[in-house]
Structure formats: structure tokens, C-alpha cells
Amino acid sequence: MVDSTIALPLGRVMRALGPGIRNSLLAAITTETGRLIVSGAGLHGPAALAAIIVLPAIAVGWFELPTPFALAKGSHLGDLPSPPDRAAGFR
């Protein structure tokens, strides 16, 4: 349905879903790992929640932080065209 609505081939739609599926699986696996660690350590309450949240945050950040860094690297002010010479327009 999506590919007919926005006129994208199914292959492109599936490739676009790849990073989201990868991050979802990564978060699910690391959350379960964190839950097992918390259960083994006998933590409860806020300490348990913090321990469970840390692993997915590190894992997803590890895979996704290069993307915004690459975007920021390509958007330097030097890459923008220079403004037109104002003096030339007043001759």
C-alpha cells in the first residue's frame, strides 16, 4: 500500500525500513540483556530502570551517532555559496 501511495518501488521502501528494523532489534536485544543483568544483580526500583536503559542507549548511539556527525561535517558554512557582491549592484 505504501509503495502505490507514494509511488516508490517496493525495494526502496524495504531498504528505507532497514535502519529502523535494525535499531528496533538492537534495542530489544540490549533491553533484554539489561533486564537479565538487573535480575542477576538483584536491583530494584530506579537503579534497575537506569541499568536497563543504559545498554540500549549505548548500543543505538554507537550505531546512529556517525549519521548526524556526517551530516554536520557536510554542512559547513564554507560549503555555502558566497553572497553576491553588493558593490557591483550599485554601479
Stronger pLDDT, 76 or 62, i.e. the higher one: 62
**How many CB atoms are located within 10 Å of the residue 27 CB?**
15
Using only C-alpha atoms, the chain has a radius of gyration, in whole angstroms, of 23
- In this prediction, residue 5 carries a pLDDT of 65
**pLDDT tens figures, 22-60:** 889 998 999 999 999 999 999 888 989 988 888 888 888
- Contact residues for 32 (Cβ-Cβ < 8 A; gap 6+): none
Q: How far is it, in rounded angstroms, from Cα 52 to Cα 45? A: 11
- In this prediction, residue 76 carries a pLDDT of 58
Q: Contact, 60 vs 23, CB < 8 A?
A: yes
Mean pLDDT within 10-16: 82
